[in-house]
Structure 1
Protein backbone atom coordinates (compact mmCIF):
# COMPACT_ATOMS: atom_id res chain seq x y z
CA UNK A 1 0.00 0.00 0.00
CA UNK A 2 2.80 2.44 0.85
CA UNK A 3 4.45 1.81 -2.54
CA UNK A 4 1.18 2.59 -4.29
CA UNK A 5 0.84 5.75 -2.21
CA UNK A 6 4.36 6.78 -3.18
CA UNK A 7 3.50 6.29 -6.85
CA UNK A 8 0.11 8.02 -6.62
CA UNK A 9 1.04 11.04 -4.49
CA UNK A 10 2.77 13.14 -7.20
CA UNK A 11 -0.12 12.58 -9.61
CA UNK A 12 -2.68 13.53 -6.98
CA UNK A 13 -0.72 16.63 -6.03
CA UNK A 14 -0.26 17.69 -9.66
CA UNK A 15 -3.96 17.18 -10.42
CA UNK A 16 -4.94 19.07 -7.29
CA UNK A 17 -2.62 21.99 -7.98
CA UNK A 18 -3.95 22.18 -11.55
CA UNK A 19 -7.54 22.07 -10.26
CA UNK A 20 -6.88 24.85 -7.73
CA UNK A 21 -5.09 26.97 -10.32
CA UNK A 22 -8.07 26.66 -12.69
CA UNK A 23 -10.69 26.91 -9.90
CA UNK A 24 -12.03 23.51 -10.91
CA UNK A 25 -11.62 21.28 -7.84
CA UNK A 26 -15.09 19.79 -7.87
CA UNK A 27 -14.95 18.85 -11.57
CA UNK A 28 -11.55 17.21 -11.08
CA UNK A 29 -12.82 15.33 -8.06
CA UNK A 30 -15.71 14.01 -10.15
CA UNK A 31 -13.43 13.09 -13.06
CA UNK A 32 -10.97 11.26 -10.83
CA UNK A 33 -13.77 9.46 -9.03
CA UNK A 34 -15.12 8.22 -12.34
CA UNK A 35 -11.69 7.15 -13.60
CA UNK A 36 -11.08 5.27 -10.34
CA UNK A 37 -14.32 3.37 -10.90
CA UNK A 38 -13.24 2.52 -14.44
CA UNK A 39 -9.79 1.39 -13.22
CA UNK A 40 -11.43 -0.80 -10.55
CA UNK A 41 -13.62 -2.54 -13.13
CA UNK A 42 -12.49 -6.17 -13.41
CA UNK A 43 -12.20 -6.11 -17.22
CA UNK A 44 -10.29 -2.83 -17.23
CA UNK A 45 -8.03 -4.00 -14.39
CA UNK A 46 -7.02 -7.01 -16.52
CA UNK A 47 -6.27 -4.73 -19.48
CA UNK A 48 -4.15 -2.48 -17.26
CA UNK A 49 -2.05 -5.49 -16.23
CA UNK A 50 -1.61 -6.54 -19.87
CA UNK A 51 1.04 -5.65 -22.41
CA UNK A 52 -0.89 -3.07 -24.44
CA UNK A 53 0.99 -0.03 -25.71
CA UNK A 54 0.56 3.14 -23.63
CA UNK A 55 -1.14 5.08 -26.42
CA UNK A 56 -3.56 2.26 -27.14
CA UNK A 57 -4.35 1.83 -23.44
CA UNK A 58 -4.86 5.58 -22.95
CA UNK A 59 -7.11 5.76 -26.00
CA UNK A 60 -9.19 2.81 -24.78
CA UNK A 61 -9.44 4.25 -21.27
CA UNK A 62 -10.49 7.68 -22.58
CA UNK A 63 -13.08 6.06 -24.87
CA UNK A 64 -14.57 4.19 -21.92
CA UNK A 65 -14.72 7.39 -19.86
CA UNK A 66 -16.36 9.30 -22.72
CA UNK A 67 -17.76 12.71 -21.81
CA UNK A 68 -16.75 12.29 -18.16
CA UNK A 69 -13.28 13.66 -18.99
CA UNK A 70 -12.51 17.12 -20.27
CA UNK A 71 -9.37 17.81 -22.32
CA UNK A 72 -7.19 18.26 -19.22
CA UNK A 73 -8.50 15.02 -17.76
CA UNK A 74 -7.72 13.20 -21.00
CA UNK A 75 -4.17 14.59 -20.95
CA UNK A 76 -3.83 13.41 -17.35
CA UNK A 77 -4.87 9.88 -18.38
CA UNK A 78 -2.40 9.94 -21.29
CA UNK A 79 0.47 10.91 -18.98
CA UNK A 80 -0.43 8.23 -16.45
CA UNK A 81 -0.69 5.65 -19.27
CA UNK A 82 2.71 6.65 -20.67
CA UNK A 83 4.20 6.02 -17.23
CA UNK A 84 2.28 2.77 -16.71
CA UNK A 85 0.40 4.16 -13.72
CA UNK A 86 -3.29 3.90 -14.66
CA UNK A 87 -3.80 1.16 -12.07
CA UNK A 88 -2.91 3.74 -9.39
CA UNK A 89 -5.95 5.90 -10.24
CA UNK A 90 -8.05 4.73 -7.25
CA UNK A 91 -5.27 5.74 -4.84
CA UNK A 92 -4.72 9.01 -6.75
CA UNK A 93 -8.42 9.75 -6.22
CA UNK A 94 -8.18 9.06 -2.47
CA UNK A 95 -5.13 11.29 -2.10
CA UNK A 96 -6.80 14.02 -4.18
CA UNK A 97 -9.75 13.85 -1.77
CA UNK A 98 -7.40 14.21 1.19
CA UNK A 99 -5.80 17.28 -0.41
CA UNK A 100 -9.26 18.70 -1.11
CA UNK A 101 -10.30 18.22 2.52
CA UNK A 102 -7.08 19.85 3.70
CA UNK A 103 -7.66 22.75 1.33
CA UNK A 104 -11.24 23.21 2.50
CA UNK A 105 -10.18 22.73 6.13
CA UNK A 106 -12.62 19.85 6.52
CA UNK A 107 -12.25 16.47 8.11
CA UNK A 108 -14.46 13.38 7.98
CA UNK A 109 -15.06 11.93 11.44
CA UNK A 110 -16.45 8.43 11.95
CA UNK A 111 -18.39 7.96 15.17
CA UNK A 112 -19.41 4.45 16.23
CA UNK A 113 -21.56 4.48 19.34
CA UNK A 114 -23.44 1.93 21.42
CA UNK A 115 -26.70 3.80 20.84
CA UNK A 116 -27.97 6.21 18.20
CA UNK A 117 -27.01 9.81 18.98
CA UNK A 118 -29.72 12.45 19.13
CA UNK A 119 -29.47 15.50 16.88
CA UNK A 120 -28.50 17.60 19.92
CA UNK A 121 -25.72 15.15 20.83
CA UNK A 122 -24.44 15.12 17.24
CA UNK A 123 -24.46 18.91 17.17
CA UNK A 124 -22.58 19.15 20.49
CA UNK A 125 -20.06 16.50 19.41
CA UNK A 126 -19.52 18.27 16.09
CA UNK A 127 -19.00 21.57 17.89
CA UNK A 128 -16.45 20.05 20.29
CA UNK A 129 -14.55 18.27 17.53
CA UNK A 130 -14.53 21.39 15.34
CA UNK A 131 -12.89 23.26 18.21
CA UNK A 132 -10.40 20.48 18.98
CA UNK A 133 -9.42 19.78 15.35
CA UNK A 134 -9.63 23.41 14.15
CA UNK A 135 -11.54 22.28 11.06
CA UNK A 136 -15.06 21.87 9.82
CA UNK A 137 -16.22 18.41 10.86
CA UNK A 138 -18.35 16.05 8.74
CA UNK A 139 -19.80 13.43 11.10
CA UNK A 140 -20.51 9.90 9.90
CA UNK A 141 -22.41 8.24 12.74
CA UNK A 142 -23.19 4.55 13.09
CA UNK A 143 -24.36 2.22 15.85
CA UNK A 144 -22.65 -0.93 17.15
CA UNK A 145 -24.69 -2.55 19.92
CA UNK A 146 -21.72 -4.76 20.90
CA UNK A 147 -19.96 -1.73 22.41
CA UNK A 148 -22.36 -1.79 25.40
CA UNK A 149 -21.59 1.85 26.23
CA UNK A 150 -19.53 4.76 24.92
CA UNK A 151 -18.23 5.51 21.45
CA UNK A 152 -15.20 5.33 19.20
CA UNK A 153 -14.36 8.53 17.31
CA UNK A 154 -11.94 8.30 14.39
CA UNK A 155 -10.61 11.32 12.49
CA UNK A 156 -7.62 10.40 10.33
CA UNK A 157 -4.92 9.20 12.74
CA UNK A 158 -6.81 10.40 15.82
CA UNK A 159 -8.80 7.73 17.67
CA UNK A 160 -10.81 8.51 20.81
CA UNK A 161 -12.14 5.37 22.46
CA UNK A 162 -14.56 5.90 25.33
CA UNK A 163 -16.14 2.44 25.15
CA UNK A 164 -16.31 0.11 28.14
CA UNK A 165 -14.00 -2.31 26.34
CA UNK A 166 -11.47 0.46 25.67
CA UNK A 167 -11.55 1.63 29.28
CA UNK A 168 -11.08 -1.93 30.57
CA UNK A 169 -8.16 -2.41 28.19
CA UNK A 170 -6.46 0.78 29.42
CA UNK A 171 -7.08 -0.25 33.05
CA UNK A 172 -5.59 -3.68 32.36
CA UNK A 173 -2.49 -2.09 30.80
CA UNK A 174 -2.11 0.30 33.74
CA UNK A 175 -2.34 -2.54 36.25
CA UNK A 176 0.26 -4.60 34.37
CA UNK A 177 2.75 -1.70 34.31
Structure 2
Protein backbone atom coordinates (compact mmCIF):
# COMPACT_ATOMS: atom_id res chain seq x y z
CA UNK A 1 0.00 0.00 0.00
CA UNK A 2 2.81 2.41 0.79
CA UNK A 3 4.32 1.77 -2.65
CA UNK A 4 0.99 2.72 -4.27
CA UNK A 5 0.87 5.84 -2.13
CA UNK A 6 4.39 6.81 -3.15
CA UNK A 7 3.49 6.48 -6.83
CA UNK A 8 0.04 8.10 -6.51
CA UNK A 9 0.91 11.07 -4.28
CA UNK A 10 2.58 13.28 -6.96
CA UNK A 11 -0.36 12.74 -9.33
CA UNK A 12 -2.91 13.54 -6.61
CA UNK A 13 -1.01 16.62 -5.51
CA UNK A 14 -0.61 17.88 -9.09
CA UNK A 15 -4.31 17.33 -9.83
CA UNK A 16 -5.32 19.05 -6.62
CA UNK A 17 -3.05 22.05 -7.15
CA UNK A 18 -4.36 22.45 -10.68
CA UNK A 19 -7.96 22.14 -9.42
CA UNK A 20 -7.36 24.83 -6.79
CA UNK A 21 -5.71 27.15 -9.32
CA UNK A 22 -8.56 26.72 -11.80
CA UNK A 23 -11.24 26.78 -9.06
CA UNK A 24 -12.57 23.33 -10.07
CA UNK A 25 -12.02 21.26 -6.93
CA UNK A 26 -15.41 19.50 -7.04
CA UNK A 27 -15.22 18.93 -10.79
CA UNK A 28 -11.83 17.24 -10.46
CA UNK A 29 -13.14 15.13 -7.59
CA UNK A 30 -15.99 13.93 -9.79
CA UNK A 31 -13.65 13.24 -12.73
CA UNK A 32 -11.27 11.21 -10.56
CA UNK A 33 -14.19 9.29 -9.06
CA UNK A 34 -15.45 8.41 -12.52
CA UNK A 35 -11.99 7.37 -13.72
CA UNK A 36 -11.65 5.21 -10.59
CA UNK A 37 -14.90 3.44 -11.40
CA UNK A 38 -13.59 2.76 -14.89
CA UNK A 39 -10.33 1.33 -13.50
CA UNK A 40 -12.26 -0.83 -11.01
CA UNK A 41 -14.38 -2.34 -13.80
CA UNK A 42 -13.30 -6.01 -14.07
CA UNK A 43 -12.92 -5.87 -17.86
CA UNK A 44 -10.78 -2.72 -17.76
CA UNK A 45 -8.75 -4.06 -14.82
CA UNK A 46 -7.91 -7.16 -16.89
CA UNK A 47 -6.88 -4.98 -19.84
CA UNK A 48 -4.65 -2.85 -17.57
CA UNK A 49 -2.87 -5.99 -16.36
CA UNK A 50 -2.32 -7.09 -19.96
CA UNK A 51 0.46 -6.05 -22.29
CA UNK A 52 -1.27 -3.27 -24.21
CA UNK A 53 0.87 -0.32 -25.25
CA UNK A 54 0.50 2.96 -23.40
CA UNK A 55 -0.97 4.63 -26.50
CA UNK A 56 -3.67 1.95 -26.77
CA UNK A 57 -4.55 2.25 -23.10
CA UNK A 58 -4.70 6.03 -23.34
CA UNK A 59 -7.00 5.95 -26.38
CA UNK A 60 -9.20 3.29 -24.73
CA UNK A 61 -9.53 5.37 -21.58
CA UNK A 62 -10.16 8.56 -23.54
CA UNK A 63 -12.91 6.87 -25.56
CA UNK A 64 -14.59 5.64 -22.37
CA UNK A 65 -14.16 8.81 -20.33
CA UNK A 66 -14.34 11.63 -22.88
CA UNK A 67 -17.95 12.57 -21.99
CA UNK A 68 -17.18 12.70 -18.26
CA UNK A 69 -13.78 14.45 -18.29
CA UNK A 70 -12.82 17.90 -19.46
CA UNK A 71 -9.78 18.56 -21.64
CA UNK A 72 -7.43 18.84 -18.65
CA UNK A 73 -8.82 15.64 -17.12
CA UNK A 74 -8.24 13.80 -20.40
CA UNK A 75 -4.67 15.11 -20.53
CA UNK A 76 -4.15 13.90 -16.96
CA UNK A 77 -5.38 10.41 -17.93
CA UNK A 78 -3.13 10.40 -21.02
CA UNK A 79 -0.08 11.27 -18.92
CA UNK A 80 -0.90 8.54 -16.40
CA UNK A 81 -1.37 6.04 -19.25
CA UNK A 82 1.92 7.03 -20.90
CA UNK A 83 3.68 6.45 -17.57
CA UNK A 84 1.92 3.12 -16.99
CA UNK A 85 0.16 4.42 -13.89
CA UNK A 86 -3.55 3.97 -14.67
CA UNK A 87 -3.81 1.16 -12.13
CA UNK A 88 -3.04 3.60 -9.29
CA UNK A 89 -5.95 5.91 -10.18
CA UNK A 90 -8.07 4.66 -7.23
CA UNK A 91 -5.30 5.63 -4.79
CA UNK A 92 -4.86 8.97 -6.58
CA UNK A 93 -8.57 9.64 -6.03
CA UNK A 94 -8.27 8.74 -2.33
CA UNK A 95 -5.29 11.03 -1.82
CA UNK A 96 -7.04 13.80 -3.76
CA UNK A 97 -10.06 13.44 -1.44
CA UNK A 98 -7.76 13.75 1.58
CA UNK A 99 -6.20 16.92 0.14
CA UNK A 100 -9.67 18.29 -0.57
CA UNK A 101 -10.82 17.60 3.01
CA UNK A 102 -7.70 19.23 4.38
CA UNK A 103 -8.26 22.25 2.15
CA UNK A 104 -11.85 22.57 3.35
CA UNK A 105 -10.76 22.09 7.00
CA UNK A 106 -12.84 18.92 7.32
CA UNK A 107 -11.71 15.66 8.87
CA UNK A 108 -13.33 12.24 8.89
CA UNK A 109 -13.31 10.67 12.33
CA UNK A 110 -13.97 6.97 12.92
CA UNK A 111 -15.62 6.24 16.25
CA UNK A 112 -15.85 2.59 17.31
CA UNK A 113 -17.83 2.16 20.50
CA UNK A 114 -18.94 -0.78 22.60
CA UNK A 115 -22.56 0.36 22.37
CA UNK A 116 -24.58 2.54 20.03
CA UNK A 117 -24.17 6.25 20.73
CA UNK A 118 -27.28 8.37 21.23
CA UNK A 119 -27.88 11.38 19.02
CA UNK A 120 -26.98 13.69 21.92
CA UNK A 121 -23.70 11.83 22.54
CA UNK A 122 -22.78 12.08 18.86
CA UNK A 123 -23.45 15.82 18.84
CA UNK A 124 -21.42 16.40 22.02
CA UNK A 125 -18.57 14.21 20.78
CA UNK A 126 -18.58 15.99 17.40
CA UNK A 127 -18.45 19.43 19.04
CA UNK A 128 -15.67 18.35 21.41
CA UNK A 129 -13.60 16.93 18.54
CA UNK A 130 -14.17 20.02 16.39
CA UNK A 131 -12.82 22.14 19.24
CA UNK A 132 -9.79 19.88 19.79
CA UNK A 133 -8.94 19.38 16.10
CA UNK A 134 -9.88 22.91 14.95
CA UNK A 135 -11.77 21.46 11.97
CA UNK A 136 -15.26 20.45 10.98
CA UNK A 137 -15.73 16.80 11.90
CA UNK A 138 -17.60 14.07 10.01
CA UNK A 139 -18.29 11.22 12.42
CA UNK A 140 -18.34 7.63 11.14
CA UNK A 141 -19.74 5.58 14.02
CA UNK A 142 -19.67 1.81 14.36
CA UNK A 143 -20.10 -0.75 17.14
CA UNK A 144 -17.64 -3.40 18.35
CA UNK A 145 -18.78 -5.44 21.36
CA UNK A 146 -15.18 -6.67 21.91
CA UNK A 147 -14.32 -3.24 23.36
CA UNK A 148 -16.37 -4.14 26.48
CA UNK A 149 -16.98 -0.44 27.26
CA UNK A 150 -15.83 2.95 26.01
CA UNK A 151 -14.69 3.85 22.51
CA UNK A 152 -11.77 4.18 20.11
CA UNK A 153 -11.59 7.43 18.14
CA UNK A 154 -9.39 7.63 15.04
CA UNK A 155 -8.83 10.92 13.22
CA UNK A 156 -5.99 10.66 10.73
CA UNK A 157 -2.88 9.83 12.78
CA UNK A 158 -4.59 10.62 16.09
CA UNK A 159 -5.95 7.62 18.02
CA UNK A 160 -7.78 8.02 21.32
CA UNK A 161 -8.46 4.66 22.95
CA UNK A 162 -10.71 4.98 25.98
CA UNK A 163 -12.11 1.47 25.69
CA UNK A 164 -11.99 -1.04 28.53
CA UNK A 165 -10.28 -3.48 26.16
CA UNK A 166 -7.52 -0.93 25.41
CA UNK A 167 -7.06 -0.12 29.10
CA UNK A 168 -6.79 -3.80 29.98
CA UNK A 169 -4.22 -4.30 27.21
CA UNK A 170 -2.13 -1.36 28.47
CA UNK A 171 -2.36 -2.68 32.05
CA UNK A 172 -1.25 -6.13 30.89
CA UNK A 173 1.71 -4.64 28.99
CA UNK A 174 2.71 -2.58 32.02
CA UNK A 175 2.58 -5.59 34.33
CA UNK A 176 4.69 -7.66 31.93
CA UNK A 177 7.49 -5.09 31.72
TM-score bucket of the superposed structures, by smaller chain:
over 0.9
| Counterpart-to-counterpart distance in 1, 2:145 and 2:4 | 36
Could you say which residue in structure 2 is the equivalent of 1:49? 49
Q: Deviations over 1:155-174 (max 9, x none)?
A: 11211111111110111112
Could you say which residue in structure 2 is the equivalent of 1:69? 69
Unaligned runs of 5+ in 1: none
| Counterpart-to-counterpart distance in 1, 2:127 and 2:108 | 14
SS in 1 for 2:116: coil
| Counterpart-to-counterpart distance in 2, 1:89 and 1:176 | 46
Q: CA deviation at 1:111?
A: 0.6
| Counterpart-to-counterpart distance in 2, 1:3 and 1:172 | 35
| Counterpart-to-counterpart distance in 1, 2:66 and 2:149 | 50
SS in 2 for 1:142: strand
Runs of 4+ in 1 over 6 A off after TM superposition: none
Could you say which residue in structure 2 is the equivalent of 1:87? 87
| Counterpart-to-counterpart distance in 2, 1:131 and 1:25 | 26
Could you say which residue in structure 2 is the equivalent of 1:35? 35
SS in 2 for 1:3: helix
SS in 2 for 1:68: coil
Q: Deviations over 1:69-91 (max 9, x none)?
A: 11111111011111111111011
Unaligned runs of 5+ in 2: none
The count of aligned residue pairs is 177
